[in-house]
Structure 1
Amino acid sequence: MAAVCCLLPLLPASGPLGLPRWLGASVDWPKVGLLACLHGCWESLAQGLPTPCLRLVRTLLRRPPVPDRAPARPCANAFFPVLFAGALMLPPSAAALVAVPAGLFGPTEAHGRPRQVWNGAQLALSAFAASVAFHLLAGPQLLLGSRFPAALLPGLAAVTAFCLVNGVLVGGMLVLAEGRRPIVLLRRSAAAAGLPVLVHAAGGLMVAVLWQGPYGAFAALLALLPLSISAWVFAQGHRERAAHQATVQALVQAVEIKDSYTRGHSERVGRASVLIARQLGMEADRLRTLRFAGILHDVGKLGVATELLRRNGPLSEAERRAVEIHPVHGYELVRGIAFLGEAHDGILHHHERMDGRGYPSGLAGERIPEFARIISVADAFDSMTSTRSYRRGRPVTEAVAELERCAGSQFDPVMVRALIDALAVHDWQPVLPPPGDCIRAVPDIPLGVPEPVRPAPVLPAPGGLPAQGGTVPTAGQP
């Protein structure tokens, strides 16, 4: 409704309404049409989607359409340079109109036409606000006279208005549609004014200056070329990261379907692992890989009999060996996934102990990969604080005390200390059973670590993979 109101000054009867002269100024319709077409094509290209022209050609040739793969969230940043150039060169209502065709006739998103209409209206409002701010500060006069740097102040005001309106609308939609906390409004508004937006704004300013020069729209198109390439590369990287996340989630869901009592455990281990690593100052790229390792640490349970995973009573020696081989199954399952990198070793060795009595390879001390030492602490901590159908979870303070007691023998003391420091800053609530579930009347599993029944560790088998057998119980395991 607000976006429709922004377009009202374009009507012929809007003159007598007493609007400011610049708000109802005459519109250069060919420029509006060309900018709207550029916005639609460049936005699709930047997101790795088929452009409207390509879809039209496929329709005329009667070829099957390429499935749309547009993002499912509200549009935080479309191809900004074209919209910003329109806000600088056109009256506010015409600038808002530039964003409408791409929103109404662009690729259909995963949530259907309503989300698409919302995105078009959102960008129209943002462009309208940017143009209003630019005109209020006499930006068109400064731009036509090429008065720099005086023209940069209205341009900066236009960027600020665009980002503020865009960020508030995206944050408001997330609050209403996904139940996010209201603080997301402030975060979205602040995030909307980052360095990429400023670079695109500078590109939009360059497009506006060149468009009004002797070479007109042709020079403006040349200015858009490097920006469109960079946006396309960024979109491809984002799509690749989304594919990685989908692969990991599919594996985790398969494990949780098989072992329902550990539902949510994988995500929490990933989160706790990241808390530890951040406390250690780990780089962002490794943090992402570590989170994947934490989420997938139990993926090897897919190779373990379901009856063994769900049994509440004690296991026989053969059954325990069958369960304890799950790190090897997990390693075999994911070792062909190249983007996991260091996560492979974290998955394989997350049940090793600092004293060398762990499994599957009996590694000790610094020979245990860093990812595995982090995940070992995170795994035990979440297991101890989670309530399951056959025993109650422990309070965080008791779980931390147990980790400290086992530091040096079972866990790396550095990782334990990092988790404790992180918990002092980040709240961690113990996992309670779902409403309606009742906990069986069985004794709580003690927190102490039993002495190993077989002191000899298992040596790696030929080919680099660990052999089966030779394991010890671990703190926090059910």
Structure 2
Amino acid sequence: MGVKVIPRAARVYIGCALLGAGACALPALRPGAATPWSTVALLAALYALCELPARCRVLGRPFGGSVPMGTGSFFPVLLAAALLLPPAAAALTALPGSLLARVDEPPAAPRRAWRAAATALAVWAAAQTAGALSCATALGHGPDAPDFPYALLPAGAAALTFCLALTALDGGIRATADGLPPRTAWRGLLGRALAPHAVHGLAGLMMAVLWRSSYGPVSALFVLLPMYISCWVFAQYHRERAAHQATIRALVQAVDIKDRYTRGHSERVGHASVLIARELGMAEERLDVVRFAGILHDVGKLGVPTRVLRKDGPLTPEERRVIELHPEYGHEMVRGIGFLGEARSAILHHHERMDGSGYPYGLRGEEIPEFARVVAVADSFDAMTSTRSYSRARPVPTAVAELERCAGSQFDPRMVAALVRALDRHGWRPAVTADEATPSVLPAPPVSPGGDVPTPREGKTPPQREAGAPPARAADASPARAVDGPVEDPDVRSRERA
């Protein structure tokens, strides 16, 4: 749920989940139910104890403030309960820990109630599946050894049922609380949950086997130690990732403050770069890096004098040469940031052209790094489709037609085709940037599919580059062109047409 005010439909949905959870747990509370209260109490207390550090700062301090975050880190305890207990009793074990779990966004009470109800229902369903497959017999008891590999079948089925139940319930709350269409609400939930829940199921089976062994419940606690360590490591990873995001946000904000004409441009180029990369079938781990490349492609403008970036009149040849240094400035700024990876080469080479007339090194064709070719298309597309204080946005079809016209000479045709497919699939929402000027009074400048600076200059000596970078080539000696576009115009740029 991503809203602070819970809609009526979501409140009804939560109420129904609570009623369902109550109906599932009620049989365990009836007189003569023969509920194994000692096991229920131990597992419920264990699950609640595991969730407490994420909510309590005092308990979280020994872990540097990074402890397993929220409900989900210790589902193996609940899956062990599903394998050990009758369904109604297993549902009860989920309630204390779910109610104590940390909630990051208000309102906390309904969110906790929802999480408790959904978790109890999922555990109940998992226990029903385990019981139907005679899990109690397969686990053995005391000196009786568990029946392997048959015990894997009820454990795996219980984990799958748990995953399916939670996925179905979470998709429902997304649809009712966030107003998402059903297909969108459930999209991707099951795929992301299957692998973690499979691991949780194996850990839950280990706990259940040890619990039923001659060593007793205490031995099952040893399963939690490696789990807690792995969760702590995962939390450290998220802290580092958050630090990376903060670093990038700071750099982008600095560029936006300095060059008001392209405010918001960086984020949109990052988004368009990811759309292209997905269409090309890039691996998931590369998508974040290509997004970083798009977001930071103009970070080198921090090294360009503000008076040059904001100049209203025509640029002198010297000022053009200064602006054309921004890819190299950007590369020098980020070359020590290890997590950027391939993004560094994209920052350096996103103004290269397929025909070799780009800068800073005049690379040609496949010599240009793949990420740089992606960002070049995304950068030019957003420059053409964004309304700024000095130019009116071109319609998306016009921008696409211009990209296709320049494919092969300026842009990689594969990247252009990938962007066209992504736009057909996802659409595009151009935005007003800079000072939110009224575009209706501005004349429409000639179409020019470029970024924000002019193109090749004469006599450029390549700076020292990273190991493995392509060899330098002499820059094209042709006249400078208007705003990176193929139309030559040595005297003006788009922002001077207002």
Instruction: Report if TM-score (shorter chain) is over 0.5.
Output: yes
- Pick closer, same or farther for the CA change 1:25–1:326 going to 2, 3 Å: farther
Q: 1:175-324 alignment to 2 at 5 Å? A: 175-178=175-178, 180-187=180-187, 189-191=189-191, 193-305=193-305, 308-309=308-309, 314-324=314-324
- Pick closer, same or farther for the CA change 1:448–1:251 going to 2, 3 Å: closer
Q: 1:422-441 alignment to 2 at 5 Å? A: 422-424=422-424, 426-433=425-432, 438-441=438-441
Matched residue, 1:385: 385
Residue type of the partner of 1:411?
F
Matched residue, 1:38: 46
- Render the CA deviation track for 1:425-477: whole Å, top value 9, x for unaligned: x233251549x962152322212479x897525112468899x9x96540297
Residue type of the partner of 1:255?
V
- Pick closer, same or farther for the CA change 1:235–1:453 going to 2, 3 Å: closer
Task: Decide which moves more: 402-411 or 317-326.
Answer: 317-326
Task: Decide which moves more: 381-390 or 244-253.
Answer: 244-253
Matched residue, 2:3: none
Matched residue, 2:4: none
RMSD: 4.2
User: How many residues are matched?
Assistant: 456
Distance in structure 2 (CA, Å) of the matches to 1:454 and 1:187: 46
Task: Decide which moves more: 348-357 or 379-388.
Answer: 348-357
- Pick closer, same or farther for the CA change 1:33–1:344 going to 2, 3 Å: same
| 1:474 and 2:470 are equivalent in the alignment | no
Contact kept in structure 1, 2:455 and 2:484, CA below 8 Å: no
- Render the CA deviation track for 1:164-197: whole Å, top value 9, x for unaligned: 3322333344445555443243225523651231
Distance in structure 2 (CA, Å) of the matches to 1:3 and 1:328: 59
Matched residue, 2:10: none
Distance in structure 2 (CA, Å) of the matches to 1:417 and 1:192: 29
| 1:85 and 2:80 are equivalent in the alignment | yes
Q: Work out which of the residue numbers 100, 123, 128 in structure 2 matches 1:127.
A: 123
- Render the CA deviation track for 1:278-320: whole Å, top value 9, x for unaligned: 4444333333312211121122233445565456664444444
> What is the identity percentage for the equivalent residue pairs of Structure 1 and Structure 2?
50
SS of alignment partner, residue 398 of structure 2: helix
Structure 2, unmatched stretches of 5+, are 1-14, 487-493
Contact kept in structure 2, 1:391 and 1:440, CA below 8 Å: no
**TM-score normalised by L of structure 2:** 0.75
Matched residue, 1:400: 400
Distance in structure 2 (CA, Å) of the matches to 1:238 and 1:177: 27
| 1:15 and 2:30 are equivalent in the alignment | yes
Matched residue, 1:98: 93
Q: Work out which of the residue numbers 431, 454, 460 in structure 2 matches 1:458.
A: 460
Contact kept in structure 1, 2:24 and 2:124, CA below 8 Å: no
Per-residue deviation at 1:163?
A: 1.6
- Pick closer, same or farther for the CA change 1:415–1:14 going to 2, 3 Å: closer
Contact kept in structure 1, 2:35 and 2:89, CA below 8 Å: no
- Render the CA deviation track for 1:248-274: whole Å, top value 9, x for unaligned: 233334433444553443233223223
- Render the CA deviation track for 1:325-360: whole Å, top value 9, x for unaligned: 332332233222111112111112211223333333
Distance in structure 1 (CA, Å) of the matches to 2:268 and 2:107: 32
Per-residue deviation at 1:375?
A: 0.9
| 1:28 and 2:37 are equivalent in the alignment | yes
| 1:55 and 2:54 are equivalent in the alignment | no
- Pick closer, same or farther for the CA change 1:463–1:258 going to 2, 3 Å: closer
Residue type of the partner of 2:58?
R
Matched residue, 1:340: 340
Task: Decide which moves more: 33-42 or 394-403.
Answer: 33-42
- Pick closer, same or farther for the CA change 1:37–1:398 going to 2, 3 Å: same
SS of alignment partner, residue 194 of structure 1: helix
Matched residue, 2:7: none
Contact kept in structure 1, 2:68 and 2:235, CA below 8 Å: no
SS of alignment partner, residue 222 of structure 1: helix
Q: 1:125-164 alignment to 2 at 5 Å? A: 125-135=121-131, 139-140=135-136, 143-144=139-140, 146=146, 154-164=154-164
Distance in structure 2 (CA, Å) of the matches to 1:290 and 1:12: 54
Contact kept in structure 2, 1:335 and 1:344, CA below 8 Å: yes
Contact kept in structure 2, 1:269 and 1:379, CA below 8 Å: yes
Structure 1, unmatched stretches of 5+, are none
**TM-score normalised by L of structure 1:** 0.78
- Render the CA deviation track for 1:23-77: whole Å, top value 9, x for unaligned: x442333x33432343345557xxxx6797x93597xxxx9x9656775xx85x3
Contact kept in structure 1, 2:270 and 2:291, CA below 8 Å: yes
- Pick closer, same or farther for the CA change 1:147–1:96 going to 2, 3 Å: same
Distance in structure 2 (CA, Å) of the matches to 1:259 and 1:455: 22
- Render the CA deviation track for 1:171-225: whole Å, top value 9, x for unaligned: 3444455554432432255236512311221221232122112111233233444
Task: Decide which moves more: 198-207 or 315-324.
Answer: 315-324
Residue type of the partner of 1:474?
D
